[in-house]
Structure 1
């Protein structure tokens, strides 16, 4: 198919499904609707961009897109003979972090089944999956076109096991939610576990827990975690011993943790399906005595990617382990927008009230949009985000340290029955552009929405979809329209928006939101739409400078209640007061003024407290290196502190991309 034919076909399909909520309408309706034509996904088309994204390195050779019946023979099935680790065979894409997680979930096949909403081979050439992206569950509908090498005709990326498709389709859906296949190159198993299960995970860097490894505590933890049904995925060091069969910078699934006759052993699997450890405890090695074989009953298959290794050799070759939990009985997801604020840096629109009725173990997570997604890192980088948990007396229970390095900050707590308050905190650093970005047109060369605009529209949609149900309800859409200066009522929403663009009974979908802007660009022009985006808090380069949506997840071993309440300055100030009392270091005192530095992960907050009359304080923070000042234009400034109160002078944050930083804070009382 020529590029012009593809553009023509996609335009026809786009116009045909414009009012159909492809990801959300009942499957039987979608099957009936798509039975009239050969479906091609207009939102993840068979194009170079779907493979490479914005990258200019198109180095995979000549690629064509094929339906499964064009590269498989015989009966094709999504699942064939159950779900097995051997189904996973990595191709020409560095997504071992994803495939190792999939392999770890093969021990819990119901978790894989839950991802596929139509798990049978589709004659209509579409599949709908459910993935938890950016902390929100979402349906992802893809067509069955798979990128294949032009010369061999076989898939470029994940390989099929016999005639089954589930891994190939799952990888494609994952690529779609991130914008391209190449966007999956390199990553953290912790992230893919959270995306596929919606459950929390933690990651340990082995070099940071040497004392626990040497004492045996970490080995005992590994045994207990595996015994309790947690998923374990390990990543290798950059200097791993490849001559001995360990690939550097690669992820492996941990399938067994065993201790016998004083030996500590781990069984791993390489997602390539080959290339195995050749050292002690490898297949047919002398360590496998008849006694050890009888005790552990190892299965040895020639070059299937699975092998045993001693814990000592594991530590020498591996860098980190991700531990994923599946044992929570209840979960809830809410959303908060954090806005730029002159007094606090970042201010949450809402905080969250927890009601715990029984002794419970809970993990609270706050999720940002993944920087792996197209245009996020350049235009909406991670906010430095944390949160505090207060009890019913508004005293600190625990904090999740503020950081700008991770898409998720989370906290595990053992809670007694009672009321708790969860208050997000942020310095608001990402609202200040640190790098130059290029101004882009709103439409691409083929007339489609430019990826940057599409990424921006998704951010807007997420901000106004406060209940995480993947639609803009009438009230949410009316609020959006008011923000861009247009007044509508519910009847007008039904007539001019819901009936024209892809919607459900509940409201407008993201697909419909894209289409609404696509038509608006044609009707009103780019400058008019740019004016809307300015009102929504984006600069001329579409960098977000005012607000960011955060999804808050609660996972608990017992039932609980969680609701969002509008944040007042009192609750936010109380959170910072508790942080200062518990984690603030005194910088100095003079004339009733005390200056504190509250430490975070690669950041500090400078708090100025006044126990006397109104004062003006001059601050000098110019002695540091690689520092970003988030609330002020430079390192020096003055602040007025009313009597018997405190203020945040500034948040000093390590510059992005730097591995070390330093700061100094001096002050002088003016009056």
Structure 2
């Protein structure tokens, strides 16, 4: 507002690229008149980035010449309503055209500058040092996840949809402008608005979700912020910097991984962030959201997800999900064991949260504490996004809050307005899923492994998939152990559709000199990102074997031929080929140290049919020519080696090598798949940690032997014939079936299982008719099968004949 002689002029300045609809209502005022209006209401629309006079109000009482009196007594009666609309898309583009063109020029400049730089093996300090070469005022632009529309939604998906505009069909209708913090953050210390900073330990929770529809992600991150130290440790870069380089450490696919991002964020045109934002100039939620968007390929990929997986990514801790729809969880609730378990978790300091029944958005609420007070089992819940208001028993106005209960609990709703209390019975009624991140200082070992397809050289019908390594545990004292088997997240950019989830399970065995090897635990197969098993181990020697049926380690049955190219029209590797090379690098970086050493590279060359004389030749011909570190060939060097080979050998030869490495002509991974294994333990007596030793399984055929032990111990005798029986083992969660034959005769038999008449089934062997010779009294594993989505028909035919031994020549 501003004075206009003896009148009052009301002006509105619209700094945004928005259309602002304004209504001023003076009907409750007195001794005033609105000029050029027949009534006491004024409506107007203010255009983008303009200032306009909305109304002129004149006072007409006797002493109207006192303008202060006009302001103090009369114009305070006005009522103001504002609403914002989006201008046409083309108008928005025109208003920020120059800024967009300037940023595009900077992106092109940075693409040239960073072309030969390996981001995979460096930290933020190395990038900051490199930036000095660009000049004094240079700032970081992440060319791997550039501030462009393709980072909002993956280019492949929007091309398939024939529309790459982020406004199409989404919850927002704005052109997105990428802006840096000091371009959109207002700082005014008198209002508590500090200059941009990564986080404030006083208040992590002052966050708004924005328009991305990723409430599952934002709410889970805010639940983690109940423990500020857990947020702080994610950020290697602790302070805001003008260079715009930020490094985070996330536990991706079971391995702690550095993720580097810039500080360009998707914003409204000339406005603030359109997605998540802090209301007090903190950057942590914007940086965290951007880091996960980069890993997943786009911001839009964050619109759905599993909170349990996210808690593991953020904490590196084993997680537990309890779903009230499961009979086991319901039984625990009825018996009181669930309350006891959650109370124990609360006392252990584990992070507990929950999402509501039938909430497709998976909004996560933090469970702050559980209290049993005067016979009342109470749960203190925080709603991080202020989307849920509890008005039932033990709510803010509940009559159950007697003076005695108030004194005992101290609910303090005024200090914590987004927290509420409720009974455990109501909690179990309104919340459908509980997530527990078992955060503590575990003794921890993380290793990388690989599932490989093995063909029996003497039996072309029989093949199986087994872990290339087994893991030997030396346990010196009574120990609490959690083992987590992780596979590559399907949400990671470039994974689907070529490397979909396998079913996975775990077997833990105890090896004893007197009693032999016995199975202690079998974690049934599940088709998900990770599987866990939890044990209390007595001192001794144990063996852990990761397992899969391997039925999905193949080209999908009805996959169309795609005529994949390895290079594009610019002679650059295609995104799909780059994703394949990343997969290959991980498979041969056995020690997970971001490089391939001489031994690992020699094994790689051996598969290709190539050789290097020795380690000196490796250093002279490989490490000196391609990007390397002290420990070996880096990812960038590995990519450059392939680039040199496509020039020297040609694309047809590369396809020959890719087939030998286990990829088909459409780059489906059909012979091997990486995984990681995490051992987290704590000694219950003494303080000696578990020692993990990795042993190669090559040539052992340990997989069939373990399957035979599982069939013998847990299998079901399905059909008993005259001198043999069919034994099966089913994992309902993965819809897998394991079959074996028990020889009940005193001579060898050749058993056959024929599943060629089945429909919508996948098998562990390429052949659907498998034969094996079985010795007397033994169970032999024959094959696994797995049902596909939808209806399936499992038809199994089996037979056996005696094996006639050829007479021995004298």
Question: Shared topology, TM-score over 0.5?
Answer: yes
In 2, are the aligned partners of 1:274 and 1:305 still within 8 Å (CA)? no
Q: Does 372-381 or 88-97 show the bigger shift?
A: 88-97
| Residue in 1 that maps onto 2:244 | 125
- 1:664 CA displacement: 5.7
In 2, are the aligned partners of 1:608 and 1:641 still within 8 Å (CA)? no
Map Cα deviations across residues 55-102 of structure 1 (whole Å, 9 max, x no partner).
336334411111111111235343443064514432323433433333
**Compared CA separation, residues 55 and 301, structure 1 to 2 (3 A):** farther
Aligned length: 658
Matches within 5 A, 1:582-601: 582-600=713-731, 601=733
| Residue in 1 that maps onto 2:611 | 487
Of the candidates 525, 538, 548, which is equivalent to residue 426 of structure 1?
548
- 1:543 CA displacement: 0.8
Q: Secondary structure at the match of 1:648?
A: strand
Map Cα deviations across residues 263-300 of structure 1 (whole Å, 9 max, x no partner).
33323333424443344433334444443332222232
**Compared CA separation, residues 344 and 387, structure 1 to 2 (3 A):** farther
**Compared CA separation, residues 2 and 663, structure 1 to 2 (3 A):** farther
1:263 lines up with 2:376 in the alignment: yes
| Residue in 2 that maps onto 1:467 | 591
**Compared CA separation, residues 474 and 278, structure 1 to 2 (3 A):** farther
Unaligned runs of 5+ in 2: 1-97, 188-193, 456-461, 684-688, 803-810
Of the candidates 292, 295, 299, which is equivalent to residue 412 of structure 2?
299
- 1:502 CA displacement: 4.8
In 2, are the aligned partners of 1:275 and 1:303 still within 8 Å (CA)? no
Map Cα deviations across residues 352-382 of structure 1 (whole Å, 9 max, x no partner).
1111111100111111001112342411111
Matches within 5 A, 1:537-556: 537-556=662-681
In 1, are the aligned partners of 2:465 and 2:764 still within 8 Å (CA)? no
**Compared CA separation, residues 578 and 640, structure 1 to 2 (3 A):** closer
Q: Secondary structure at the match of 1:323?
A: strand
C-alpha distance in 2 between matches for 1:498 and 1:19: 16
Q: Secondary structure at the match of 1:92?
A: coil
- 1:439 CA displacement: 4.6
- 1:146 CA displacement: 0.9
1:647 lines up with 2:647 in the alignment: no
Unaligned runs of 5+ in 1: 241-246
TM-score by length of 1: 0.89
- 1:328 CA displacement: 4.1
- 1:12 CA displacement: 4.6
**Compared CA separation, residues 3 and 66, structure 1 to 2 (3 A):** closer
Q: Secondary structure at the match of 1:299?
A: coil
1:186 lines up with 2:304 in the alignment: yes
In 2, are the aligned partners of 1:100 and 1:233 still within 8 Å (CA)? no
C-alpha distance in 1 between matches for 2:696 and 2:740: 25
| Residue in 2 that maps onto 1:243 | none
| Residue in 2 that maps onto 1:356 | 475
**Compared CA separation, residues 67 and 459, structure 1 to 2 (3 A):** same
Matches within 5 A, 1:49-88: 49-53=150-154, 54-56=156-158, 58=166, 59=170, 60-61=172-173, 62-74=175-187, 75-82=194-201, 84-88=203-207
- 1:350 CA displacement: 0.9
Of the candidates 698, 702, 717, which is equivalent to residue 571 of structure 1?
702
Q: Secondary structure at the match of 2:485?
A: strand
Q: Does 51-60 or 210-219 show the bigger shift?
A: 51-60
1:669 lines up with 2:800 in the alignment: yes
**Compared CA separation, residues 67 and 3, structure 1 to 2 (3 A):** closer
In 2, are the aligned partners of 1:233 and 1:323 still within 8 Å (CA)? yes
TM-score by length of 2: 0.75
Q: Does 456-465 or 75-84 show the bigger shift?
A: 75-84
C-alpha distance in 2 between matches for 1:169 and 1:499: 36
- 1:262 CA displacement: 3.4
Q: Computing the radius of gyration over CA atoms, which structure comes out larger, 1 or 2?
A: 2
Of the candidates 207, 225, 232, which is equivalent to residue 345 of structure 2?
225
1:45 lines up with 2:146 in the alignment: yes
Q: Secondary structure at the match of 2:482?
A: strand
RMSD, matched Cα: 3.0
In 2, are the aligned partners of 1:90 and 1:271 still within 8 Å (CA)? no
| Residue in 1 that maps onto 2:291 | 173
| Residue in 2 that maps onto 1:244 | none
| Residue in 2 that maps onto 1:506 | 631
In 2, are the aligned partners of 1:481 and 1:487 still within 8 Å (CA)? yes
Map Cα deviations across residues 538-583 of structure 1 (whole Å, 9 max, x no partner).
1121111110011111001131110110114253344223211221
